[in-house]
Amino acid sequence: MTAGRVLRASTVVVLLVGLALALVAARDEPLELLWYFTIQVDLAYLAVLRLGRADRLRTALTVYLVVTGLVFVLVLANPWSGYSMMATADARGAVSDAGNLLLHVVAPPLAAADWLSHRPRPAPPRRYPVTLLAYPLAWLTAILVRGAGSDQAEERYLYPFLDVPRFGYPTVVVNALAFATLLLLLGLTAARLSHPAPAARLP
C-alpha cells in the first residue's frame, strides 16, 4: 500500500471512530448530532472519498474540516476565548472528549495532508473560494431559524458563538463574519496551492 493510500485510510478510520464516539456520547439525542456543522462535513467528506472523483467538493470539505479544527482549538476548547465549551457538562466526559479530539484535532490535518498529496486537477477557478461560503451560510441560516423558533433557544444554537439569546444578533453576525474571513483565507490558499507553479525560465 502506498503512502498516499495509508494516509487516506488513516483519515477515514479516524473520522469513523470519532463519529462513533460522538454517537455514543449523544446517545440520548443521536439525531441532534446531524445539526452540527462538523458532523455534516465529516459525513459528506467520507461519502465523497467513497464515491471518488469530486475534486472541487473534496477541496471544499477539506477546507471546512480545517476550519472546524481551528475553531475548536482556538475558540471552543480555549478557556480564554469567551466562547469555550469546556465548562459545558454535555460537552465533557471521556467519550465526548476522545471524539472531539479525533474529529477536530486529528482528522483535519490528516485530511489536509491527503488533499496536498492528491491536489485537484484541473485547479479550481480563482472565484472558487467565494463559492465555499454558500454551504456555511445555508447552515447558519437554518440554525438561526431553528433557534428562533424553539422554546429552548439556548440549546438549539449548538455553538456558544451563535447563542443569540445570550449575545444578541450583532455579536453573532460579527462572529459569523470572522469565521467567513477565515474560510475565505483558507479557500484562497487551497486555490493557490492547486495551481501548478510557473515553469522556470531558461537563461
| CB 196 within 8 Å of CB 203 | no
Q: Can you read off the three cell numbers belonging to residue 143?
A: 440554525
Q: What pLDDT does 98 receive?
A: 92
Q: What pLDDT does 200 receive?
A: 38
Q: Rounded to an integer, what distance in angstroms lies between the CA atom of residue 193 and that of residue 165? A: 41
Q: Rounded to an integer, what distance in angstroms lies between the CA atom of residue 61 and that of residue 82? A: 27
Q: Rounded to an integer, what distance in angstroms lies between the CA atom of residue 136 and that of residue 139? A: 5
pTM of the model: 0.89
Q: Can you read off the three cell numbers belonging to residue 190?
A: 487551497
User: Per-residue pLDDT for the chain (203 aa), expressed as one digit of tens each?
Assistant: 687 788 899 999 999 999 999 999 887 777 889 999 999 999 999 999 988 768 889 999 999 999 999 999 999 999 888 898 865 555 557 888 899 999 999 999 999 999 998 888 777 787 889 999 999 999 999 999 988 877 665 568 889 999 998 899 999 999 999 999 999 999 999 988 887 654 434 44
The b-or-e profile of 154-166 (16+ CB within 10 A means b, else e) is eebbbbbbbbbee
Q: How open is the CA angle 107-112-117, to the nearest 5 degrees? A: 125
CA neighbours closer than 13 Å in the CB half-sphere of residue 202:
0
- The CA R_g of the chain, rounded to the nearest whole Å, is 18
Q: What pLDDT does 51 receive?
A: 87
